[in-house]
Homo-oligomer: A and B are copies of this chain.
Amino acid sequence: MDVAESTGNLADQLLRLTRRLHRAQKQYLQPLGITPAMSRLLRVVSHSEEPLRMVDLAQRLDVVPRAVTTLVDGLESFGLVRRVPDPANRRVIRVELTAQGRDALQRLRDARRAAAEDLLAPLGPEQREQLGELLAALDRDPSRSC
**Which candidate, A19-27, A49-57, A78-86, A90-98, is the interface stretch facing chain B?**
A19-27
- Indicate if the CB atoms of A112 and B4 lie closer than 8 Å: yes
How far does the Cβ of A96 sit from chain B's closest Cβ, in whole Å?
21
Q: Does A33 belong to the interface (CB within 8 Å)?
A: no
Provide the residues of chain B in CB contact with A25, threshold 8 Å: 11
Q: How many residues of A are counted as interface, with CB atoms below 8 angstroms from the partner's CB atoms?
A: 52
The contact of A16 among B62, B110, B118, B134, by CB within 8 Å, is B62
> What's the number of copies of this chain in the assembled complex?
2
- Indicate if the CB atoms of A113 and B17 lie closer than 8 Å: no
Q: Does A100 belong to the interface (CB within 8 Å)?
A: no
Q: Does A10 belong to the interface (CB within 8 Å)?
A: yes
A-B contact list, 9 entries, CB within 8 Å: A4-B109, A7-B120, A10-B116, A13-B132, A13-B136, A14-B21, A16-B139, A119-B138, A122-B137
